[in-house]
Chains A and B, each alone.
Chain A
Amino acid sequence: MSGVRVLVGTRKGAFVLAADGKREKWDVSGPHFAGWEMYHVKGSPADPNRLYASQSSGWFGQLIQRSNDGGKTWEAVGNKFVYDGVPGTHQWYDGTPHPWEFKRVWHLEPSLTDPETVYAGVEDAAFFQTRDGGQTWAELSGLRKHGSGPKWQPGAGGMCLHTIILDPSNSKRIYIAISAAGAFRSDDAGESWRPINSGLKSGQIPDPAAEVGHCVHHVAMHKSRPGTLFMQKHWDVMRSDDAGDSWHEVSGNLPTDFGFVIDVHAHEPETIYVVPIKSDSEHYVHEGKLRVYRSRSGGNEWQALTKGLPQENCYVNVLRDAMAVDSLDECGVYFGTTGGQVYASANSGGDWAPIVRDLPAVLSVEVQTLP
């Protein structure tokens, strides 16, 4: 019988939540790497038992863990992330030049076809690749050495490369996003990059047509329409139908268009999900109600999904990598909160129930649909 495996990264360890295709009874294992910050855990599409995890700590730095058995056992692999050449500088918060310094891995994106190949998005923003299952990492420095690099500036959470999307129809096309530089696209497998931020409007930037400087929070794509991208920006929900060459706003009737997560239904490429957050000054849900908003029209028209979610006295946040969908016939949607809850819906968001309620703050949620 088919099933799902939900991979949860938290501030104090990783958890693996597993269920059969009904998604009613859950087996919870963890914490793995107890006490460590687990920014991201993700499985290889080419080998579901191959998992990669980013393990970090302010005391002990960065580690990368790998599992060959779906998360039952793990082994530490390479943790040497060295910028290519002389790192140079980017802008600091006050606008002064600041040297590039590696801090942590925010996102691991395994190749769609090779379990040994993984891309890593790191802070300070850069794009790394391993071809040997994580033993060694090399920077694809064309991104960081893009001419705009010295103008990049950290967002409040640091200058992180947090989103990596691989185009399933074109192995050379990769999208990434950086806070607070913006989105970029490579059409040559990561060798060279171009900013794809035309149409983004960020009120605090003096130049409304600035090619970088936009605080992109997350980007999502449906595998059947790799040229269509959906973005949750700092403020504004945006859409592109030309692979990021231009963007237009689809915030529509959302109660607030600030937020972090955005994702696309597994089988309906025009059905998208966001969790509106009150504001950039108050990083919790609007009106004390935890509501997922779904648009079945690719944006603009949004419907609140509330059944099974707390509708009073709720003040959690849902971070940028903390929502995912499964690809069972009835699409499952999952998200984790800074309050430690992981919610699941087995019917495209119609009904929700917590899988777990009391984990450490959730940093990331990924789902594997198992045969």
Chain B
Amino acid sequence: MSRVRIELPYHLRTLAQVPGELELQVAGAVTQRSILDALEAKYPVLQGTIRDHITRQRRPFLRFFACAEDWSHQPPDAPLPEEVATGAEPLLIIGAIAGG
């Protein structure tokens, strides 16, 4: 198991009732998919808010950043950087700056 750190955008922190950065235990390879699976398992209220219920595609106005790089367009099963897998750096889930 890997202990990973995640930062959620404000509205999802409010929805999940987490005050700030959260930690998760992730089994197996640390990827976007494995982190989101663990996140949704622990916080079911987030199901459908980050990725579509059916297609599992990232919602268009959200982005995934890790170690100062945009991972949004990487395959969901691509291993994330070692720093994320070890908990040294968080995975940032960020809402696009758009709209009002």
Chain A residues with a Cβ under 8 A of chain B = 35-36, 57-63, 76, 79-80, 82
A59 lies within 8 A of B61 (CB): yes
Q: Top 9 A-B pairs ranked by shortest CB distance? A: A60-B49, A59-B61, A76-B45, A59-B95, A80-B53, A79-B48, A61-B48, A61-B49, A58-B99
Pick the residue among B11, B45, B47, B52 that contacts A59 (CB under 8 A).
Answer: B11
Output the least CB separation between A113 and chain B (Å). 29
CA distance A61 to B9 in the complex (A): 14
Residues on the B chain within 8 Å of A60, using CB: 11-12, 15, 49-50, 59, 62, 95
Q: How far is the CA of A60 from the CA of B49 in the complex (A)?
A: 4
Interface centre among A59, A63, A79, A82 (most CB of B within 10 A): A59
Nearest CB of chain A from residue B59's CB, rounded to whole Å? 6
Q: How far is the CA of A58 from the CA of B59 in the complex (A)?
A: 9
Q: For the complex, is B68 an interface residue (Cβ under 8 Å from A)?
A: no
- A59/B48 contact (C-beta < 8 A), A35-B11, A36-B11, A80-B53 known: no
Encoded as 1 (CB less than 8 Å from any A CB) or 0, chain B from 1 to 26 comes to: 00000000111100100000000000
Is B15 a contact partner of A76 (Cβ separation < 8 A)? yes
Which of chain A's residues have a CB closer than 8 A to the CB of B62? 59-60
A-side contacts of B10, CB under 8 Å? 35
Nearest-neighbor residue (CB-CB) of A60 within chain B: B49
A82 touches B53 (CB 8 A): yes
Contact A59–B9 (Cβ < 8 Å): yes
Contacts of B99 in A (CB 8 A): 58-59
User: In the complex, given contacts A36-B11, A59-B9, what are 13 additional A-B residue pairs having Cβ atoms less than 8 angstroms apart?
Assistant: A58-B61, A58-B99, A59-B62, A60-B49, A60-B50, A61-B48, A61-B49, A63-B15, A63-B45, A76-B15, A79-B48, A80-B48, A82-B54
Residues in chain A near residue B53, CB distance under 8 A: 79-80, 82
Output the least CB separation between A306 and chain B (Å): 32
Nearest Cβ on chain B to A363's Cβ, whole angstroms: 15
The CA-CA distance from A36 to B9 in the complex, in Å, is 13
Chain B residues with Cβ below 8 Å from A82 are: 53-54
Q: Give complex CA distance A63, B14 in Å.
A: 13
Most buried by A among B9, B12, B47: B47
21 pairs from A and B in contact (CB 8 Å cutoff): A35-B10, A35-B11, A59-B9, A59-B59, A59-B61, A59-B99, A60-B11, A60-B12, A60-B15, A60-B50, A61-B48, A63-B45, A63-B48, A63-B49, A76-B15, A76-B45, A79-B47, A79-B48, A79-B49, A79-B53, A82-B54
Chain A nearest Cβ from B32, distance in angstroms: 17
Complex Cα distance, B61 from A347, in Å, reads 46
CB distance from A21 to the nearest CB of B (A): 35
Q: Is the CB of B11 within 8 A of A57?
A: yes
Q: Which of A57, A60, A62 has the most CB of B within 10 A?
A: A60
Residues of A within 8 A of B47 (CB): 79-80
Cα of A58 to Cα of B96 in the assembled complex, Å: 10
| B96 proximity list for chain A (CB < 8 A) | 59
Which residues of A sit under 8 angstroms from B48, Cβ to Cβ? 61-63, 79-80
Cβ-defined contact, A61 with B15, below 8 A: no
Contact flags (1/0) for B56-71 with A, using CB distance below 8 Å? 0001011000000000
A62 to B99, CA, bound (A): 17
For A62, the closest partner residue in chain B by CB is B48
Residues of chain A lying within 8 A (CB to CB) of residue B11:
35-36, 57, 59-60
Query: Which of chain A's residues have a CB closer than 8 A to the CB of B49?
Result: 60-61, 63, 79
From residue A166, how far is it (CB to closest CB) to chain B in Å? 27
